[in-house]
Amino acid sequence: MLRVLIVDDEPVARRRMMRLLRAERDVDVIGEAGDGRAALQAIAEKGPDLVFLDVQIPELDGFGVLRALGGSARVPGVIFVTAFDRYALRAFEVHAIDYLLKPFTRERLSDAVARVRDAHQRDRPAADPRLAALLEELRNRPRFLERLPARAGARIVLVDTRDIDWIQAADNYVVLHAGGREYLIRETLTRLEGELDPHEFVRIHRSAMVRLDRIGELVPSPHGDFGVTLKNGAQLTLSRFYRDRVERALRRQL
């Protein structure tokens, strides 16, 4: 029996993964976790054979979880799950690490599980050299974006992330609000969120992300939302559904 742990910060995604895994023979889903630190605790306590590990999760991302497991006596098999990290996809392919690119099909999931099941039955050593090689490459790359290319007429300008006040979603584009100017780039907010330092940027709404040090004031509303005033005077909304992210970033309850 293959004992599986699901790690994803989206409950809907965890439920879908669990539903698809029910169709797999000899698979027992022993638990789930919504962030990196909870994932490490579940791995230590439950000892899964396989972890479906989302790359972009709060507290400690998927790569951080992998680093933390590096010194463990028994490292479970890992199948990474990602929606957007372009660097991660290249790294996985170079090191032959299995991954699922969201949205994935039932057949793709089944193929990934079959490979792990085969390795498990052959009693492959837990210390997978491919994971060690991936970890070594990750140590040598910048963790988060520091500059973003944006079109400005016929030119492409590089916007320093430290100059960004907030980021607004616009379908498959985002608008960077930086120093009183606006820059449009072809990128989804969710994808960009995973490439920016979570200690500097926080999602406050499905259509907005702000730089933490630009927040000047938070005003609660009767419905659980907050009005957000940035230091430049911009007025935004902190949705109650994203409140916990701001609280984690500030390490304080609102």
pLDDT of residue 178: 96
Looking at the structure, give the CATH architecture of the domain made up of residues 2-139.
3-Layer(aba) Sandwich (3.40)
What is the pLDDT of the chain when averaged over all its residues? Answer: 86
What pLDDT does residue 210 have? 98
Q: Give the residue extent of every domain in the chain.
A: 2-139, 147-250
pLDDT of residue 67: 79
Q: Are 29 and 21 in contact (CB under 8 A)?
A: yes
188-246, pLDDT tens digit by residue? 898 888 788 888 999 999 999 999 999 999 999 988 999 999 999 999 999 999 998 89
Mean pLDDT over residues 88-107, rounded?
79
Share of the chain above pLDDT 70, in %: 89
Q: Is the pLDDT reported for residue 125 higher than 60? A: no
* pLDDT value for 168: 97
Q: Which fold has domain 147-250?
A: OB fold (Dihydrolipoamide Acetyltransferase, E2P) (2.40.50)
